[in-house]
Amino acid sequence: MKKSAIVNGLGIPLLLCTMACQKEGLSSGGGTGGKGTGTGGVLATGGGIGTGGGIGTGGGIGTGDAIGTGGAIGTGGAIGAGGKTGSGGAVGTGGTPGTGGGTGRTCGTVAGLLCPSGQICDMPVGACAKISDAAGTCVAVGPDMCPANYAPVCGCDGVTYSNECGRLAAGVSKASDGACPTSTPACPADISQISTWPCTEGLTCEYGTDPRPSCRTSATCTGGAWSILLAKCTQLPPVTCPATRDAAAGQLCPTDGAYCVYGDLSCVCTNCTNGPVTSCGGDFTWHCATPNADAACPSGIPLLGSACTTADKTCTYACGTGGARLCKSGAWYTANGGPCPVSARRAKKNIVYLGAAERERIARDLAAFKLATYEYRDPALAGTRHLGFIIDDVPDSPAVDRDGNMVDLYGYASMLVAAVQAQGEEIAKLKAELARLKTRLRSK
């Protein structure tokens, strides 16, 4: 048998056989070309130099190209996956450096091309595992911290991610834009179907478009059965609404209790203000709801039981019971909106009165607040400059509500009281010292 040795670019000898090899039964594929070195030939898959060896998956001479799809240096070793004398050209598609290099490289495919560390093989949208030999693109894994904008995408793992950054950070290919579909919505489309709908304990399904939450029909699952609450409210007074919420905000309105709805936000005609202290009087003006400051939350408070996509996300819209929404099992549930100002002793516990040292500390903290003037981003509130402080500057202050999105007016006012008290005590000391000095002068 005649044999000859050829050394490749990496110094690895490749054994080539003449026709005598066939006589000795070393090749089932025949000679060179289409009938030449075939599958299971001189160096077949898993043969003399196999997967991960000096010559990559498929052996020295494989089933594909002269040097296979893995490139001159492929994914498995010196020569890439599946090479043979074929249609692929002298050097395959994988490139010289094998799995190394920058982003944008082809990955996956039937050859199982890999990506470098710190990158993922991002498959075409919708491919997921349905196309076993799909070709993807190497892209960098997303950062640990992603922006808070809410542009949901459905991952191939069936999880809804808040945005593309979150998906890439998880190392998951994209199944589709938008939230992942759920097999069965938590609530039926119409309350007339509620009696035959699966009852999920604690779930409330809310219906209707009335801007007054207390005027919407609802059904709540309690003890394994649905309990229906039919709302009975007076009809809203007729009114001609301004064209936009921006145009309505702060403008005079004709009828007390009238509403204008703009998307999921509304404006009410009233002369009352809400907050720690409610007061009414003066002209009736449009008081417009502002969008939730958290970009991952709906702008306006969603209907209970409506679909949501960000699990365990809490969105606060008002203080007190029912002032927030919690996303759980794909639906919005009611949640407490944080503490409302309740000053009576009966509503409090673990009361500890501040001493002089604590009041002085709070006064120093308050004196360090950086005051600023600003405008709101919301177009309905823009155009007017306001005076105040930015909560991002003092995130741990008692003047910031615990959800981190707004000022705790009660806490802020109490800090002001502490500062006034500390200053009053300091002034009293100075007055006493001045009185002593005057007494000494008069005695001389």
pTM (whole model) above 0.75: no
Q: Quick one: pLDDT at residue 91?
A: 34
* Mean pLDDT on 269-283: 78
Q: Quick one: pLDDT at residue 132?
A: 61
75 has a pLDDT exceeding 60: no
33 has a pLDDT exceeding 60: no
313 has a pLDDT exceeding 60: yes
* Mean pLDDT on 77-104: 41
What is the distance between the terminal CA atoms of the chain, rounded to a whole angstrom?
Answer: 132
Of 50, 55, 53, give the one whose Cα is nearest residue 14: 55
204 has a pLDDT exceeding 70: yes
Confidence of residue 309 (pLDDT cuts 50, 70, 90): confident
Q: Quick one: pLDDT at residue 326?
A: 94
99 has a pLDDT exceeding 50: no
Task: Give Cα separations from 142 to 116, 165, 166, 170, 173 (angstroms).
Answer: 14, 6, 7, 7, 12
6 has a pLDDT exceeding 60: no
Q: Quick one: pLDDT at residue 276?
A: 53
335-358 confidence digits (pLDDT tens): 998 777 777 787 778 999 999 999
127 has a pLDDT exceeding 70: yes
Q: Give residue 374's Cα distance to chain centre.
A: 28
* Mean pLDDT on 89-97: 36
Interstrand relation of 314-316 and 324-328 (parallel, antiparallel or unpaired): antiparallel
Q: Quick one: pLDDT at residue 95?
A: 38
Average model confidence (pLDDT) for the chain? 75
157 has a pLDDT exceeding 60: yes
Residue pointed to by tokens 């090749």:
27
Q: Is 418 or 161 the better-scoring residue by pLDDT?
A: 418
